C-alpha cells in the first residue's frame, strides 16, 4: 500500500476546511440527496461525500455503508485531493499498486472507485464526492460529466451553508444589540420618571439638578453610541442581503446543473401537493408512465391507474408508509411496474422520494425522482432463472449422490486425476506447444506466436501476414477457412476446423486444428478475433492407419461372410425340401445373424470411406413419397413385433442420393423397433416445412436423457443403461446418418424426454421436379 501524498499547501488547506465548520456535524438531507443521486447515476452501491482533515476521512453523507469515517492512511480520497483539477478513477483496485494491499479493498471486497475533488474558490481541495463498486468497471463519459456536475453542486451547497451560518451569526449580533438598546430605553424611561420626582422634590437644589443633567448627558452619549452601532449593524445587514442575493443566484446555477445531471441520468421528477391532491410530472416522468407530454396528470387516473395490478398494493402501501413520519421519516424507495396510460407499455421503474411535513407532522408535499430500471430487472430475472435452474440441478445432483454414495472414493480419485490432467494441460500450453493468434478486424493485421510460426514453417523472427498464412492452407480447404474467418468477423460466430497446411520454408505438410471467435471490446476498446492452433498431424496419421486397418479387416471379412451366406441359404433350402423344420429354423436364425454381421461390416466400411472422403453421393431428383412407400412395404413385411404406422405423404421432390436417404430412414425405424417395447406404436411421417422436407420417426420407448442427446450423433457413441445392455450395436448408424444428411445440406436431430419416447428427424431442401 503506497504512502498518502500530501499537497504542498496542506496547512492552508486544513485551515480553509475549518472555516466551513462542517466536520462532525449531523447529516443533512441536501447532501444525502446528492450522494443518492451520484449512486443512481453511476449505478454503484456505495456513494460518499467526505472531507479529509489531518488524520481521517470523515463522511458528511453516505449511501450503501454504515461507516462514518476512515483513517486518512487508507483513504482513496486522500489520493484524489492531491490533484484538485482531475477526477480520480480506479477501475480495479486489486490491480493498482496504490491500493492492492489496502485493508478496505480486502475487507469490503471493493474493486472500483471514482472521486471528484471538492475544490473551493481559493483552489483548496477540501474532500471528495466519490462512488465505490465491488465489481471492476469504468464510467461512461456521460457519468463522469454528471459526477463532476454533482461535485460542483456539493461545493455550492457547502459555500451556501457557510454564508447562511455567517448570516445567522450577524442576525444574532443584531438581536443582541436590539435587546441592549431596548434595555437602555427602559432604563432611560425610569431615569426620566425619577428625574421628574426629584425635580418636584428638589426644585430648589440646583447642584443636584446639575448632577442629574450631567448623568443624563452621559446616558445620551451612550444612546448615541448604541445608535451608531445599530446603524453599522443595519449596514452589515444590507451587505449580508447582497451576499444572500448572490447565493440565490449560485443556488439557481446549482439547480440548472441539477437539471443537467437529471437529464444525464434520465431521471423523471414528480411533485404531489398532498393537501390539494395535485400531481405534477415532468416530461421524463410522463414518458415512464406512458403518458403524452402535453397531458395534465392526476394522482388517481395516471399514477394509481398506471401501476401494474401485481405491484399496485405494495406501491400504495409504500406511499402510505412514507406519509407516516414516525415509521419512515418520510422516506420513499420502491420498485414497481407501470402500464402506460396511453401506450400500454410495461416498464420497470425505481422511485425515490421524500414527504415534507408541517409542524403537526401532517404530510404537505411529496417530491422525488423516477428512473427506468427495466434492463436491470431483466438481468436480475435472468440471474434468478439461472439460480433456479442451478438449484434444480443441485437437487438432481443430490439424488444422484445418494445413488452413488458407494463410489465417492473413486470419484475423488477421478477428480484428482482430472486436476493433474488440467495441470499437465496448463504446462503444455505454457511450453508453447499450442500456437496462438490474434487478428485486428479494422486493419486485418495478424499477430501470431512463435509456435504458430513454427507450425506454418516460419522462423520466430519472421513476419507472417494473414494472406500468407491463408495461402499455406491446401486448395481444397482454403476457401472453407477463409469463409469461417469472415463469418466470425461479420456475425460473431465461433468456429472449430481441421485442415492441412504446407510449411513456408520446409514445405512440410501438417494437419492442424484451429478454433477462433470474435471477442467484443468493452468500454470503447476495439473488437478482436483470436484463437489457437494445434498440430494434429500425428493424430491424423493414427486415424488414417486405424481407418485403413478397419477397411482392410472389413474387406477381408466380407469374402468369407458372402460364402457363408451362400452355404447357409443352400442348406436352408435343402432342409425345407426335406421338411426338416428344426434344422430349417436354426439355419434361418444363422442367416439372420450373418445379415446383421454384413450390415455391421458395411457400416464400418462406410465410416472409413466417409472419413477418407471416398464416400460417393449420387444425387438425383426423386419423390420422397415413393421412397417412404417402398420403406413402408419393406417394414410391413418384416416387422410384426410393433405397430409401424406410415402417414400419407404428398409429392415431395428432393435432389439427393436415394439409397443413402433410404438408409437413414431405415436406421431410424430399426432403432425405434430395437429400443421401444413390443406392441408399441411407431409413427413415420414426411411433411413440407419452410421449403424443406421434414422426415420424422416417433416411438414410445424409454426416452433419452438430455446429456445423451447432445452426443447421440457422435461416432461410436451408445447410450448406457439397463434397457440397452441386451441390445447389440457399435454406435455408427446415427453417426453415418448425420454425416449423410449434412452432406445434403440438411439438418438432423432428436426430441426426447425420459419416459415419454423419442422423435428422430431430418430435413432436406426441396427441389422442383424436372
- Residue-wise pLDDT tens digits, 410-437: 656 756 775 775 566 456 555 547 899 9
Q: What number is the average pLDDT over the span 485-498?
A: 88
Determine contact, residues 36/352, Cβ cutoff 8 Å: yes
- As separate numbers, helices (DSSP H) first and strands (DSSP E) second, the chain gives 20, 23
Q: What are all long-range contacts of 240-245, with beta carbons under 8 Å and residues at least 24 apart?
A: 240/166, 240/167, 240/170, 243/163, 243/166, 243/167, 244/163, 244/167
Rg of the chain over CA atoms, in angstroms? 44
Question: What does the alpha-carbon distance between residue 72 and residue 51 come to, in Å, rounded to a whole number?
Answer: 10
Length of the chain: 770
What distance lies between CA 727 and its chain's CA centroid?
A: 47
Residue 268: C-alpha distances to residues 147, 251, 284, 372 (Å) = 18, 21, 5, 9
Residue 254: C-alpha distances to residues 98, 154, 248, 744 (Å) = 34, 9, 10, 70
Going by the DSSP 8-state scheme, the letter that residue 94 receives in this structure is G
Q: What is the pLDDT of residues 113-141, one digit of tens each?
A: 999 999 999 999 999 999 999 999 999 99
What pLDDT does 555 receive? 47
Q: What number is the average pLDDT over the span 235-249?
A: 71
pLDDT at position 550 over 80 = no
Question: What does the alpha-carbon distance between residue 206 and residue 204 come to, in Å, rounded to a whole number?
Answer: 6
Determine contact, residues 90/2, Cβ cutoff 8 Å: no
Residue 623: C-alpha distances to residues 29, 149, 619, 626, 628 (Å) = 80, 73, 13, 6, 9
Indicate the burial class of 59 (C-beta count within 10 angstroms; 0-12, 13-18, 19 or more).
buried
Question: What does the alpha-carbon distance between residue 530 and residue 517 come to, in Å, rounded to a whole number?
Answer: 6
Q: What DSSP string runs through 490-503?
A: HH---EEEEEEEE-
pLDDT at position 722 over 80 = no
pLDDT at position 212 over 50 = no
* DSSP strands (E only) in 454-519: 495-502, 509-519
Confidence label for 209 from pLDDT (cuts 50, 70 and 90): very low
Question: What does the alpha-carbon distance between residue 624 and residue 654 come to, in Å, rounded to a whole number?
Answer: 7
User: In this predicted structure, which of 411-420, 525-534, 555-564, 715-724 has the lowest mean pLDDT?
Assistant: 555-564
Q: What DSSP string runs through 103-133?
A: HHHHHTT--EEEEEEEE-TTS-EEEEEEEEE
pLDDT at position 528 over 60 = yes
Question: What does the alpha-carbon distance between residue 133 and residue 119 come to, in Å, rounded to a whole number?
Answer: 24
How crowded is residue 590: how many other Cβ atoms within 10 Å of its Cβ?
A: 16
pLDDT at position 650 over 70 = yes
Amino acid at each position: 500500500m503506497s504512502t498518502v501524498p500530501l499537497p504542498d499547501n496542506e496547512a492552508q488547506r486544513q485551515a480553509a476546511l475549518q472555516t466551513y465548520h462542517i466536520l462532525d456535524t449531523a447529516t443533512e438531507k441536501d447532501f444525502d440527496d446528492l450522494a443518492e443521486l451520484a449512486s443512481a447515476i453511476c449505478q454503484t452501491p456505495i456513494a460518499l461525500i467526505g472531507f479529509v482533515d489531518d488524520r481521517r476521512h470523515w463522511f458528511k453523507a453516505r449511501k450503501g455503508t454504515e461507516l462514518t469515517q476512515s483513517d486518512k492512511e487508507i483513504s482513496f480520497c486522500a489520493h484524489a485531493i492531491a490533484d484538485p483539477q482531475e477526477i480520480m478513477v480506479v477501475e480495479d483496485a486489486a490491480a493498482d499498486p496504490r491500493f492492492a494491499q489496502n485493508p478496505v479493498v480486502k475487507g469490503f471486497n471493493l474493486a472500483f472507485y471514482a472521486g471528484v475533488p471538492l475544490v473551493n474558490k481559493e483552489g483548496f481541495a477540501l474532500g471528495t464526492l466519490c462512488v465505490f463498486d465491488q465489481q471492476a468497471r469504468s464510467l461512461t463519459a456521460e457519468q463522469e460529466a454528471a459526477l463532476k456536475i454533482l461535485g460542483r453542486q456539493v461545493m455550492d451547497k457547502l459555500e451556501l451553508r457557510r454564508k447562511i451560518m455567517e448570516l445567522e451569526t450577524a442576525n444574532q449580533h443584531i438581536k443582541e444589540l436590539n435587546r441592549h438598546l431596548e434595555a437602555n430605553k427602559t432604563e432611560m424611561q425610569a431615569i426620566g420618571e425619577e428625574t421628574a420626582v426629584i425635580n418636584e422634590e428638589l426644585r430648589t437644589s440646583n447642584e443636584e439638578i446639575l448632577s442629574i443633567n450631567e448623568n443624563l448627558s452621559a446616558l445620551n452619549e451612550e444612546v448615541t453610541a448604541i445608535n451608531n452601532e445599530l446603524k453599522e449593524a443595519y449596514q452589515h445587514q444590507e451587505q449580508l442581503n447582497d451576499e444572500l442575493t448572490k447565493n440565490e443566484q449560485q443556488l439557481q446555477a446549482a439547480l440548472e446543473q441539477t437539471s443537467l445531471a437529471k437529464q444525464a441520468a434520465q431521471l423523471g421528477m414528480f411533485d404531489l401537493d398532498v393537501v390539494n391532491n395535485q400531481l405534477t410530472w415532468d416530461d421524463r416522468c410522463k414518458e415512464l408512465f406512458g403518458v403524452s407530454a402535453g397531458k395534465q396528470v392526476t394522482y388517481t387516473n395516471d399514477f394509481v391507474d398506471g401501476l401494474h395490478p401485481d405491484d399496485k398494493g405494495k406501491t400504495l402501501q409504500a406511499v402510505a408508509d412514507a406519509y407516516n413520519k414516525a415509521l419512515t421519516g418520510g422516506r420513499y424507495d420502491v420498485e414497481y411496474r407501470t402500464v402506460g396510460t396511453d401506450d400500454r407499455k410495461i416498464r420497470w421503474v425505481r422511485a425515490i422520494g421524500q414527504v415534507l411535513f408541517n409542524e403537526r407532522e401532517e404530510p404537505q408535499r411529496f417530491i422525488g425522482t423516477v428512473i427506468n430500471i427495466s434492463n436491470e430487472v431483466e438481468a436480475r430475472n435472468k440471474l434468478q432463472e439461472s439460480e433456479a435452474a442451478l438449484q434444480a440441478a443441485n437437487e438432481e445432483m443430490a439424488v444422484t449422490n445418494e445413488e452413488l454414495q458407494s463410489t465417492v472414493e473413486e470419484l475423488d480419485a477421478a477428480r484428482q486425476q482430472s486436476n493433474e490432467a488440467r495441470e499437465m494441460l496448463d504446462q503444455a500450453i505454457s511450453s508453447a506447444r499450442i500456437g496462438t493468434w490474434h487478428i485486428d478486424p479494422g486493419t486485418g493485421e495478424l499477430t501470431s506466436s512463435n509456435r504458430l510460426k513454427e507450425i506454418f514453417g516460419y522462423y520466430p523472427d519472421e513476419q507472417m501476414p494473414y494472406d500468407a498464412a491463408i495461402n499455406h492452407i491446401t486448395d481444397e480447404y482454403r476457401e472453407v477457412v477463409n469463409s469461417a474467418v469472415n463469418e466470425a468477423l461479420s456475425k460473431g460466430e465461433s468456429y472449430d476446423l481441421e485442415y492441412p497446411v504446407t510449411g513456408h520454408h520446409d514445405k512440410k505438410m501438417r494437419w492442424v486444428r484451429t478454433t477462433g471467435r470474435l471477442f467484443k471490446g468493452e468500454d470503447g476498446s476495439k473488437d478482436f478475433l483470436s484463437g489457437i492452433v494445434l498440430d494434429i498431424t500425428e493424430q491424423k496419421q493414427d486415424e488414417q492407419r486405424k481407418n485403413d486397418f478397419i477397411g482392410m479387416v472389413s474387406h477381408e471379412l466380407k469374402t468369407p461372410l458372402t460364402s457363408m451366406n451362400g452355404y447357409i441359404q443352400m442348406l436352408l433350402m435343402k432342409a425345407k425340401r426335406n421338411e426338416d423344420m428344426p434344422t430349417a429354423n436354426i439355419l434361418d436364425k444363422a442367416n439372420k445373424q450373418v445379415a446383421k454381421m454384413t450390415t455391421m461390416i458395411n457400416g464400418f466400411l462406410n465410416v472409413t470411406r466417409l472419413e477418407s472422403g471416398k464416400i460417393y453421393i449420387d444425387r438425383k431428383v426423386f419423390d420422397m413419397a415413393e421412397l417412404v412407400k417402398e420403406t413402408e412395404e419393406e417394414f410391413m413385411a418384416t416387422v410384426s413385433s410393433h405397430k409401424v404406422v406410415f402417414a400419407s405423404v404428398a409429392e415431395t421432390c428432393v435432389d439427393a442420393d436415394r439409397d443413402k436417404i433410404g438408409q437413414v430412414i431405415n436406421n431410424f425405424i430399426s432403432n425405434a423397433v430395437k429400443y421401444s417395447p413390443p406392441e408399441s406404436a411407431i409413427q413415420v411421417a414426411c411433411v413440407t416445412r419452410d421449403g424443406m422436407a421434414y422426415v420424422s420417426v416417433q416411438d414410445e420407448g424409454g426416452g433419452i436423457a438430455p446429456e445423451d442427446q447432445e452426443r447421440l450423433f457422435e461416432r461410436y457413441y451408445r447410450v448406457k443403461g439397463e434397457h440397452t445392455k441386451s441390445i447389440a450395436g457399435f454406435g455408427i448408424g446415427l453417426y453415418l446418418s448425420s454425416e449423410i444428411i449434412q452432406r445434403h445440406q440438411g439438418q438432423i436431430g432428436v426430441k426426447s424426454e425420459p419416459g415419454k419416447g423419442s422423435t428422430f428427424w431430418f430435413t432436406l431442401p426441396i427441389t422442383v421436379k424436372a
